Amino acid sequence: DAGVIQSPRHEVTEMGQEVTLRCKPISGHNSLFWYRQTMMRGLELLIYFNNNVPIDDSGMPEDRFSAKMPNASFSTLKIQPSEPRDSAVYFCASSSPGALMNTEAFFGQGTRLTVV
Amino acid sequence: KNQVEQSPQSLIILEGKNCTLQCNYTVSPFSNLRWYKQDTGRGPVSLTIMTFSENTKSNGRYTATLDADTKQSSLHITASQLSDSASYICVVSAPGNQFYFGTGTSLTVIP
């Protein structure tokens, strides 16, 4: 398996523009997570889906952020309108049901977003 | 509140030396604890996983310990190499696929 695939790897956009980040989880995984990583705050969970259904979106910072998972193999994180403080690395991760004691989140390579 | 705290925030050591990273957590109930290594510009990758009943687990030069009573874990790196330079993140899992991340320790190994 190719692992969790994210696109684009880098995105530079102007303040006010819409940004869409994409994620393809590992086939067979039923949980998908979106994280944001900054130097100051480390990794922060934004939202996670279980079987394509959003379970916890309490980490989504503002209404400008939205996430969808239309099917088991694709998810998007959208920021509209984007602001400079949204600049960060956004990671997508997926995990399988598996044995509870062995649950692991597998991470994609991340999307580095710069809003100027 | 479920939290994971790591120390030190950053560390610089000479190549060949040993070091120990610390992780304290308050997550309950607890499923497992993982140490992830994150190279610059890449996503985190799991190094070790420890469940409630495990005290020590090794993965090559990496040895993790867990004290479930005091809710503390450590990651010991032996004979460090330049390639060990990375961020090391402690992640505690709770039932229901919940993951709690520490902010990481940035390790720099210098020649």
pLDDT of chain A, 116 residues: tens digit per residue: 679 999 999 999 999 999 999 999 999 998 899 999 998 888 888 998 989 999 888 889 889 999 999 999 999 999 999 999 999 999 999 988 655 555 678 999 999 999 99
Q: How far does the CA of residue B27 sit from the closest CA of chain A (Å)?
A: 15
Which residues does B contribute to its contact with A (CB < 8 Å)? 31-32, 34, 41-46, 49, 51, 89, 91, 93, 95, 97, 99, 101-104
Span A21-47, pLDDT tens digits: 999 999 999 889 999 999 888 888 899
Q: Tens digit of pLDDT for each residue in B45-56?
A: 989 888 888 899
Question: Residue B106: what pLDDT?
Answer: 94
**pLDDT for residue B22 is more than 70:** yes
B95-107, pLDDT tens digit by residue? 877 788 898 999 9
Nearest to B99 by CA among A1, A107, A6: A107
Quick one: pLDDT at residue A40?
A: 83
Within 10 angstroms of residue A76's Cβ, the number of other Cβ atoms is 15
pLDDT of residue A69: 97
- Quick check: A50 and B97 CB within 8 A? yes
Give the per-residue pLDDT at A96.
81
Beta carbons of B41 and A108 less than 8 angstroms apart: no
User: Which residues from B are below 8 Å from A91, CB to CB?
Assistant: 43-44
CA A47, A111, A8 angle in degrees (round to 5)?
Answer: 115
CA of A44 to nearest chain B CA: how many angstroms apart? 8
